[in-house]
Structure 1
């Protein structure tokens, strides 16, 4: 069990709903300040997107954020250099696509993550059948490889994903791309419930968590939430670290209130 999973388990066992905000690395010149604002607002871990030119699972907002970051000269090495030495007090999880992992090779890629202080990895387009090499490289580097499960995943495969995932299991709330949604889909709570029944590993629900109310609803079945597009939309529209921190603080409050025992 890696540092990411230990950390998330400890917080969950203390009765805390888990909050993992997302930021596209190098989206702005002061992008590291957003990470500090996330922590101040109550983040339990932070997902750092390593921008890729063809982000097939991402919707319009994250695609735009990736384009902006790449236009500014973002690269894996530059982003990891920006993370190196940061003392944020919560684990960092890199998210990307297979192409970037294979470019350097899984062993070198995962080693670079660990050197930069990154504790987890999400490879959005990595099928279970092709995960062995990355899985081994991540384990050797001390990086937890978190796998994704969707509402269309059949039960035997769902069990395999829950068994092989490390750090947490990423429950994708719906069949589609990332992006803000008006409501949490029924498939989201069903999937989270199935995963929580099949594993004691933390289950985080993502894709479309946009409001405090949606986050509170999500943790009635999941252990926590991932919030991405709603944050990036605000940053793309000019929100400062303090602005985004206030938005996340409201979500943190809703999660905490949902976890409070009934009087």
Structure 2
């Protein structure tokens, strides 16, 4: 499951992480706050703006990853600008030292992809990449060459937070095309807004990421986030027919 670093105080954040792990989160994706999160919808953008107002964004994210990684495998989710501005090699080693298993740069520029993968590998990190539905076979091949760990396949072709229906047939076809090109596990997220949708998407992929429903709960009533995660975890663990 996804949550942004710095949404709450460190004490509250650690308490939330503990509760979400107990509720059934198998892994954590920790988002580094960014002022221009153009691939994200209003809920996550709002959470990022809260974190930015708190300041010390990078240090808070390192501490969040450190605690999350003590509970479950943890990946940092970030935009490229913070990586580039903090020096990619130093950035990678800082999060590796904090316990991250990988760093996914959602808007990784093609010209920087190869160098970034090697930089992450030197720090002992995987470098998952986004596999857009619109990517051509040639583009998927290039993504494969500069990705490690897994690929992130959006379930909806929208920013995060989409709450409408999913075209499962189109998603299945897209996943099949990616699998034929890229021999990496595939993780789906974006638009998986209900436990029922999570259960429907799960047979198509290797893992499902839940983001906006959990972030919304953390913003409105942090105690309710545990029930939200538990509902999704229960749906994903039900036998699929």
State TM-score, norm by structure 1.
0.84
Where structure 2 has 5 or more consecutive residues not aligned to the other structure, the ranges are none
Match for residue 66 of structure 2?
Answer: 84
- Distance in 1, matches of 2:177 and 2:18, equals 34
Name the SS of the counterpart of 1:48 in structure 2.
strand
Check if 1:216 corresponds to 2:199: yes
Does the 8 Å CA contact 1:38/1:248 hold for their aligned counterparts? yes
Matches within 5 A, 1:85-104: 88-104=70-86
Ranked by relative contact order (alpha carbons within 8 Å, sequence separation 6 or more), the top structure is 1
Match of 1:255 in 2: 236
- Are the counterparts in 1 of residues 186 and 207 from structure 2 also a CA contact under 8 Å? yes
Inter-CA distance 103–87: structure 2 relative to 1 (3 Å threshold): closer
Change (3 A) 1:88 1:171: same
Q: Which has the higher helix share?
A: 2
Name the count of aligned residue pairs: 238
1:135-165 deviation digits (Å, cap 9, x = unpaired): 1110100111100011111122223323432
TM-score normalised to the size of structure 2? 0.91
| Residues 82-91 or 24-33, more deviating | 82-91
Compared CA separation, residues 86 and 171, structure 1 to 2 (3 A): closer
Contact 1:62 1:178 in 2 (8 A): yes
Q: Is the 8 A contact 1:173 1:191 kept in 2?
A: no
SS at match of 2:238: helix
Root-mean-square deviation (CA), in Å? 1.8
Structure-2 separation of matches of 1:146 and 1:250? 27
User: How far is 1:196 from its partner?
Assistant: 3.0
SS for the counterpart of 1:31 is helix
Other-structure match for 1:116? 98
SS at match of 1:219: helix
Shift of 1:79: 2.1
Whether contact under 8 Å (1:36, 1:88) holds in the other structure is: no
* Structure 1 partner of 2:39: 57
CA distance in 1, matches of 2:71, 2:209: 18
The 10-residue stretch of structure 1 (139-148 or 197-206) with the greater mean CA deviation from structure 2? 197-206
